[in-house]
């Protein structure tokens, strides 16, 4: 029997980096402010802190997202407005900010977004990564009626979409930070 793509660990692991003409502190202050993510995210439109101190480890942010009909159009994705809950899992001012997405039932998933900041000569390198260690309940729901070929196609198409999103996010953050 062939192993399913959904059994791969990690299922997703991708990222990109960009050079930003700003200090590590300026970049960290921007990317650690979850309310501001709507300024550069391809899906997040708004949100609010629902527990804890904003930006602190353990705090939870409820995001309002939007996905257009043309995003991986052939797959049965959530379209229009949908919500996520994200728990801050690491804060290293001037260096790193990470959060983990919770499932619909509120359980933390092995689905982590992060920003890493590395000072360089006249600015910093900003890296954003996305890692999903095991297939989330959402991925299982999306692919439940797919054969293995379509599951592989979905994972490949979603990976390409995420790579484009991360690159676009970094370009937008660079623009926001360098204008400040």
CB-based burial, 94-127: b 16+ in 10 Å, e otherwise: ebbbbbbbbeeeeeebebbbbbbbeeeeebbebb
Looking at residue 68, which CATH number applies to its domain?
3.30.530.20
Q: Taking the model in full, what pTM does it have?
A: 0.93
Q: How many domains does the chain have?
A: 1
Residue 167 domain-assigned (yes or no): yes
Residue 135 domain-assigned (yes or no): yes
Residue 42 domain-assigned (yes or no): yes
Instruction: Note down pLDDT in tens along the chain; length 180 residues.
Output: 579 999 999 999 999 999 999 999 999 999 999 999 999 999 999 999 999 999 999 999 999 999 999 999 999 998 999 999 999 999 999 999 999 999 888 787 899 999 999 999 999 999 999 999 999 999 999 999 999 999 999 999 999 999 999 999 999 999 999 997
């Amino acid at each position: 029997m062939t192993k399913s793509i959904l059994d791969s660990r990690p299922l997703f692991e991708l990222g990109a980096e960009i050079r930003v003409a700003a200090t590590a502190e300026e970049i960290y202050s921007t990317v650690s402010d979850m309310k501001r993510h709507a300024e550069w995210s391809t899906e997040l439109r708004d949100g609010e802190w629902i527990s804890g101190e904003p930006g602190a480890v353990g705090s939870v942010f409820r995001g309002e997202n939007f996905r257009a009909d043309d995003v991986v159009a052939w797959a049965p994705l959530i379209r229009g407005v949908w919500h996520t809950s994200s728990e801050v899992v690491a804060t290293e001012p001037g260096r790193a900010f990470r959060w983990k997405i919770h499932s619909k039932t509120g359980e933390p998933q092995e689905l982590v977004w992060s920003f890493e900041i590395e000072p360089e000569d006249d600015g910093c390198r900003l890296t954003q990564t996305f890692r999903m260690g095991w297939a989330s309940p959402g991925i299982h729901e999306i692919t439940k009626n797919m054969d293995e070929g379509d599951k592989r196609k979905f994972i490949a198409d979603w990976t390409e979409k995420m790579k484009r999103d991360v690159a676009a996010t970094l370009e937008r953050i660079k623009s926001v930070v360098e204008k400040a």
